Structure 1
Amino acid sequence: MDFKDAYKWVNLEFILEGFLVTLEVAAAAIALSFLIGCIAGTVRYMKIPVLSQLAAFLVELVRNLPLLLIIFFTMFALPEVGIKFGIVQSAIIALTVFEAAMISEIVRSGLNSIPKGQVEASRSSGLTSFQTLWHIVLPQGLRRMVPPLVSQFISLLKDTSLAVIIALPELMHNANIVIAHNFQTAVPILMFAAFLYFVVNYALSLASRRLENRMA
């Protein structure tokens, strides 16, 4: 193991540049997938005719496909029909599509976990379906969604490493390049990569706990 060569600043800087790409891709995919997932989950919960069935079909379709296949499809299949994206955009789109399907199920389950009696009482008091959702169901459902949502976001951050297959210059891509120049640096470089993943994911976990405590 060559720690001295592995931890040269030029290597660490290169890996940190990749980590920045990882964070940027993850942040964009988290924001987009959360928005789309919330919409899809809410549509399914409210059982809106046609839209609910369409959302259910798309969610089940995506959930039963491997993320790697979706990444390949976005990068290599879409250009065949005239839809072409760059490497970063392809990674963000693929991650967004996959994670939005997962998040929609979390949202739907969270909303469905609210006792039906509360919904019926709200409707009988004169509130519309939307008002009941906004004032009664959503505030309570969000508290129950926080832990699984954060777990999904952590998974998303780790899943960015799969985009190495399309040469996304993210953390593991750059780490592999450093290792390829000197295989003796493999262990220390992978330790450094693991440390970076751990720091961010652990920070997300702590933030989740604090948010849960505030919402309790």
Structure 2
Amino acid sequence: MDFAGAYTWEHIRFLLEGLGVTLKVAVIAIVLSFLIGCLLGIVRYTKLPVISQLTALCVEIIRNLPLLLIIFFAFFALPEVGIKLSVQNAAILALTVFEAAMISEIVRSGVKSIDQGQIEAARSSGLGYTQTLWHITLPQALRRMMPPMVSQFISLLKDTSLAVVISLGELMHHAQIINGQNVNFIIPILLLAAIIYFVVNYTLSIVARRLEARQV
């Protein structure tokens, strides 16, 4: 093990560049999956004829597929039907699709957890279905959903490492490149990458715990 040779500023900067890509892909996927997941969750909750059933079917299919398969599909299969994406865009698409399905279930469960009495009271006071959903149900449900959502976002950030299989230049990909220079760098570099992941994800987990504590 060569810690001195592995921990040069050049290598650390290279890893941080990979972390930048990891965070960029994760943030974009988080925003998109949150928006799409909320929409899908609400559609499932409203139980619209046919649409809700089709949405539920698609969500269940995606939730039960491995993320790695979805990444492969986005990068290798879509070009076969004329949709060619860059490595980064393919990773973002795969993560967004997978996480949106997960978040939709969180949203559906969160909305269903609101006391039915409040909804009936809002309806009896003259509010329409959409107004009740927007002004009464969703604000309360969102507070309850935040802790599990943050936990899901932590998982998303860690899952970006799976995109190394399509050579996305994220943290683990850069770590592999450094490891290829010298076998004595493997343990030090992987240890440093683990520390970086831990610091980022532990910070997010603290946020999740504080949000959860506020709900008690």
Unaligned runs of 5+ residues in structure 1 are none
Partner of 1:182: 182
Could you report, residue by residue, the CA deviation over 1:33-53 in whole angstroms, capped at 9, with x for unpaired residues? Answer: 000000000111111222211
Cα contact 2:144–2:215 (8 A) shared by 1: no
2-side partners of 1:209 and 1:158: how far apart?
Answer: 18
* CA–CA distance in structure 2, aligned partners of residues 128 and 202 of structure 1: 42
The residue aligned with 1:4 is 4
Query: Matched residues in 2 for 1:88 and 1:120: separation?
Result: 46
**Residue pairs, 1:22-101, within 5 angstroms:** 22-101=22-101
Structure 1 vs Structure 2 CA RMSD: 1.3
Looking at structure 1, the residues matched to 187 and 14 of structure 2 have their Cα atoms a distance apart, in angstroms, of 17
Q: How many residues were matched structurally?
A: 216
- For 1:49 and 1:199, locate their aligned partners in 2 and report how far apart those are by CA, in whole Å: 46
Paired AA for residue 24 in structure 2: E
- Report the Cα distance in structure 1 between the residues aligned to 2:18 and 2:149, rounded to whole angstroms: 25
Question: Structure 1, residues 37-84: CA drift from partner, whole Å, max 9, x if none?
Answer: 000001111112222112111101101111000000000000001000
Q: Give the aligned partner of residue 137 of structure 1.
A: 137
| Structure 1 residues 190-209: Cα deviation after superposition (integer angstroms, max 9, x where no partner) | 11111111111122122334
Q: Distance in 2 between matches of 1:50 and 1:122?
A: 27
- Conserved 8 A contact 2:147-2:211: no
SS, match of residue 181 in structure 1: coil
Q: Distance in 2 between matches of 1:80 and 1:139?
A: 43
Contact 2:33 2:100 in 1 (8 A): yes
Structure 1 residue 116: Cα displacement: 1.4
**Structure 2 residue aligned with 1:169:** 169
Larger CA deviation: 150-159 vs 113-122: 113-122
The answer to whether the 8 Å contact 2:67/2:98 transfers is yes
Match of 1:156 in 2: 156
Distance across 1 between alignment mates of 2:137 and 2:49: 20
Q: Which residue of 1 aligns with 2:195?
A: 195
The alignment's TM-score, normalised by the length of structure 2, stands at 0.96
Q: Partners of 1:207 and 1:3 in 2: how far apart?
A: 33
Partner of 1:13: 13
Deviates more, 1:90-99 or 1:112-121: 112-121
Deviations 1:122-177 (A, max 9, x none): 11221111111112111211121111101100000000000000000100011011
Aligned position for 2:208: 208
TM-score scaled to structure 1, two decimals?
0.96
AA at the equivalent of 1:153: F
